[in-house]
A and B are shown apart, each in its own frame.
Chain A
Amino acid sequence: MIFNNVLNRELIELNMVAKTKEEVINEMAGMLFKSGAITSKEAFVNDVFERERIGTTGVGMGIAIPHGRSGSVINTSIAIAKLKEPVDWDSLDGKPVSLVFLLAVPKDGGENIHLKLLSGIASMLMEEDFREKLFNARDKEEVLNIMGFTKEDDLK
């Protein structure tokens, strides 16, 4: 399958140092901006926080899946960060978060194939095995593999 630039090495950070949810989202939006997924970090971050205000994206189990459907998104993308120290996310189960998936989706929803990929990842996060593997992943290559992205896909 071709994933274009939905996820690649640039969009993975395995040792993020951040103290708050705000810091995490800002850092990760920076990664998305650098990779060319969004046109404006500020506009994107605003839309992500808009979504956070409706309800927490800390889905429990140490995972948060913040997302923004935003006019600033050019390419549907996903950024992944593992935090050195867990941060509070007002999670459904009250636990702090150490694994964050930030989803960037164009306002109009973008291409269905990309959306399907993101919704598929969200579904997979409900599987304990998948979560375990991600929590234990030691390098970016391993994360890409677990997520089902092969080396070849990444180079396309």
Chain B
Amino acid sequence: MKIVAVTACPSGVAHTYMAATALKKAAKANGAEIKIETQGALGIENEITEKEAREADAVILAIETAIAKPERFKNKPVIQVPVSEAIKDADAIVKKAISLINK
């Protein structure tokens, strides 16, 4: 299963990157493939292409600010959470994404 995720926080300095690391670790622990795009002070990094978005089984948006290019994920199963939630309990979010896929 393939998950794509975007993390973004208000100042784009810390939470964006902490959430990305937390989601990456959680996906690994749950045996899911994940690609995480960060939208922070460094701009868009590790960008999810249109093709990757299309092929993803689920989308996690851990965001607390408007993100660029949200239209990539329309018609996809999306889990949207505050970025802090991904730092606090990334495991639960990834598990939720997996259960969405397995439905």
Looking at chain A, what size class is its interface with the partner chain?
Answer: 20 to 34
- Indicate whether A122 sits within 8 Å of B13 (C-beta atoms), given known contacts A69-B41, A92-B87: yes
Q: Does A59 contact B (CB under 8 A)?
A: yes
- Indicate whether A57 sits within 8 Å of B88 (C-beta atoms), given known contacts A116-B42, A126-B22: no
| Contact, CB under 8 Å: B14 / A67 | yes
Q: Of B16, B18, B41, B42, which contacts A126 at CB under 8 A?
A: B18
**What are the residues of chain A within 8 A of B42 when measuring CB–CB?**
109, 112, 115-116, 119
Residues of A101-123 contacting chain B, CB below 8 A: 103, 105, 109, 112, 115-116, 118-120, 122-123
**What are the residues of chain A within 8 A of B88 when measuring CB–CB?**
60, 92-93
Residues of B13-43 contacting chain A, CB below 8 A: 13-18, 20-22, 25, 38, 40-42
- Indicate whether A65 sits within 8 Å of B14 (C-beta atoms), given known contacts A55-B84, A59-B87, A126-B21: yes
Q: Does A125 contact B (CB under 8 A)?
A: yes
**What are the residues of chain A within 8 A of B38 when measuring CB–CB?**
119
**What are the residues of chain B within 8 A of A93 when measuring CB–CB?**
88
Distance of A144 from chain B, by nearest CB (Å): 20
Q: Does A9 contact B (CB under 8 A)?
A: no
Q: Of A69, A92, A126, which contacts B13 at CB under 8 A?
A: A69
Q: Which residues of B contact A (CB under 8 A)?
A: 10-11, 13-18, 20-22, 25, 38, 40-42, 64, 82, 84, 87-88
| Pairs A-B, 7 closest by C-beta atoms | A119-B17, A122-B14, A126-B21, A123-B21, A92-B88, A122-B17, A109-B41
